[in-house]
Structure 1
Amino acid sequence: MNWPEKVTIKEVGPRDGLQNEKAIIPTQRKIDWIDQLSETGLTYIEATSFVNPKWIPQLGDALEVGKGIKRNPTITYAALVPNRRGLESALEASMDEISVFMSASETHNLKNINKSISDTFPVLKEVIDTATGIRKPVRGYVSTVFGCPYEGSIDIEQIFRVCDQLFEYGINELSLGDTIGVASPRQVEEFLEQAVKRYDKSLLALHFHDTRGMALANVLKSLDYGITTFDSALGGLGGCPYAPGASGNVATDDLVHMLHNMGIVTGIDAEKLIKSASMMQSCLEKPLPSHQMAIYNAQ
């Protein structure tokens, strides 16, 4: 197989990983965790989300977290924002990159954002225009690319319509999400067969959840299509509040283990990663679901 020499892993644990945790984690513990993650060799950390605290109480301290973390100059610290107000707070926190989000599924978009897809576009355009106007890079997330908990399979042309619009607005990268973890390698293959012909593959990232234990297999298939950027959450943390039954993201520690054993460079120190996972595991007072942490906990 013509696998890449290097893969970029984007750590989304502090945002996507923690947003589904019911027990509110103290702000300082979040800051300490991000600071520890900053010493693992990661080059990208999605630190928080500037959404209304009523939606996701866990991330209600976004401004304090953004201002409190120690910035490693080799790392991009990103934040998810839903609208202009969220962007203003993200800029106040000096976030390096702005992420906008929407769904390819009309129903999921309504439940997640409380807007139709067509009504979401102008809101995101304002965020993207404002951010790019001050030279802040913007990343786009599209959820439910491989299946929706309410609508099932989403027509690929509908997915591409959403992606096309975000690229037209000026995003720098697009993260394609398997929000409920239903994708199989064959489905990933069928999707990427068309996607890499339509878009520059260097601008695409894949965001797999491991609900059915297929995330690493789907990463492997994505590598075959030249995808070299993947989102993951340390320890397999995560889930989606608006996708019932969705379990955590593909685990950063499991992903690093697989890639390193394939001879693919990530730049990440696996031992430091496990120590960082152990820190959050202690904070949550429960075992993290990744395979690497199961091995660690058994020792």
Structure 2
Amino acid sequence: MADGLPMQIPASALPARVRIHEVGPRDGLQNEKAVVPTEVKAEFIHRLAAAGLTTIEATSFVHPRWVPQLADAEALLPLLDDLDHVALPVLVPNERGLDRALALGARRIAVFGSATETFSRKNLNRGVAESLAMFAPVIARAREQHVTVRGYLSMCFGDPWEGPVPVAQVVTVARQLVELGCDELSLGDTIGVATPGHVGALLTALTAEGVPLSAIGVHFHDTYGQALSNTLAALQHGVSTVDASAGGLGGCPYAKSATGNLATEDLVWMLHGLGIETGVDLDRLTATSVWMADRLGRPSPSRTVRALSHKE
């Protein structure tokens, strides 16, 4: 494989460094039809860490009936004990999930909310207000234990049932998550319909309402090929945390129009070309995604993975 090093030509008004929040092992693998063996998941995470990723979302403590692909959370986390230099957040839906995560020593958790009523009911079986009420004790207890809390907010740009989502509606729910005590907020374009202007409008509205850019991450899906352009728009507004999934794995099991996440390799290629530091070795990351694609029995959808892995 040839070195994955694009020419660096920095652009103005961009962050010097971006923290990549790698979601492949959780958001990526939860959408697989077949259950990936626990040992393969553990090796996947170790390979991602060896490639330089420092935040890797490891698994979920959602009830196994709803996400059977991640039913092995209790078996997986002990296999990652040697990665004490890596942040390994886990998704928890409620207090029972929090109990399970804390029992295994988790120090970073995430809750998963929605900006729209329909998706909230389909995903959590309760409306937005009810879901926030469910998250409140989870976040409070986590904070008492000095556990960092991330709030995922899905359907920030469009909903397959409700259509375009008003910016003000998203801001209202986002502020409530921050007020509950979330340290970080990840804005999700769950079905991939956002465009750069929409991204800028939402970020401007959030900062006007007192949500600091340092607390915001972005999470784009590439349904219409807009994930990288939307990411660049977010960077131009001062965001420096970007979610991505190695090899472009993932989607959303409760929103069938949601295609894969932004591929981490595609993101790193763009960031490195802009002279933005990530700490990620693109060749090692690409090799990891090729390795995982072999385990899943299909090629990676990432354009960068395909380009680099086919070079002589």
Shorter-chain TM-score tier: over 0.9
AA aligned opposite 1:142:
L
Indicate if the aligned counterparts of 2:222 and 2:259 stay in contact, CA closer than 8 A. yes
CA deviation profile, 1:29-81 (whole Å, cap 9, x unmatched): 10111111111111101000100111111011111111222432321100000
Question: Could you say what secondary structure the match of 2:163 adopts?
Answer: coil
Q: Larger deviation: 188-197 or 261-270?
A: 188-197
Question: Which residue in the other structure is 1:110 paired with?
Answer: 121
Question: Which residue in the other structure is 2:73 paired with?
Answer: 62
Indicate if the aligned counterparts of 2:167 and 2:205 stay in contact, CA closer than 8 A. no
Across the aligned residues of Structure 1 and Structure 2, the Cα RMSD in angstroms comes to 1.1
Matched, 1:78 2:89: yes
Question: Which residue in the other structure is 2:237 paired with?
Answer: 225
Question: Which residue in the other structure is 1:125 paired with?
Answer: 136
Question: Which residue in the other structure is 2:4 paired with?
Answer: none
RCO greater where, 1 or 2, for CA within 8 Å and sep 6 or more? 2
Alignment of 1:7-22 (within 5 A): 7-22=18-33
Matched, 1:190 2:201: yes
Question: Which residue in the other structure is 1:249 paired with?
Answer: 261
Indicate if the aligned counterparts of 2:77 and 2:104 stay in contact, CA closer than 8 A. yes
Matched, 1:164 2:175: yes
Question: Which residue in the other structure is 2:298 paired with?
Answer: 286
Q: Percent identity?
A: 45
Question: Could you say what secondary structure the match of 1:165 adopts?
Answer: helix
Question: Could you say what secondary structure the match of 1:177 adopts?
Answer: strand
CA deviation profile, 1:85-118 (whole Å, cap 9, x unmatched): 1111111222220101110010000001111111
Matched, 1:42 2:42: no
AA aligned opposite 1:34:
I
Question: Could you say what secondary structure the match of 1:191 adopts?
Answer: helix
* C-alpha distance in 2 between matches for 1:229 and 1:65: 26
AA aligned opposite 2:232:
L
Indicate if the aligned counterparts of 1:67 and 1:94 stay in contact, CA closer than 8 A. no
Question: Which residue in the other structure is 2:277 paired with?
Answer: 265
Indicate if the aligned counterparts of 1:35 and 1:70 stay in contact, CA closer than 8 A. no
* C-alpha distance in 1 between matches for 2:14 and 2:263: 20
Question: Could you say what secondary structure the match of 2:32 adopts?
Answer: coil
Shift of 1:297: 4.2
Runs of 4+ deviating beyond 3 Å: none
Question: Could you say what secondary structure the match of 1:19 adopts?
Answer: helix
Matched, 1:236 2:254: no
**TM-score, with structure 2 as normaliser:** 0.93
AA aligned opposite 1:248:
G
Q: Which runs of 5+ in 1 are unaligned?
A: none
Q: Larger deviation: 184-193 or 20-29?
A: 184-193
**TM-score, with structure 1 as normaliser:** 0.97
* C-alpha distance in 2 between matches for 1:185 and 1:164: 22
Q: Larger deviation: 16-25 or 68-77?
A: 68-77
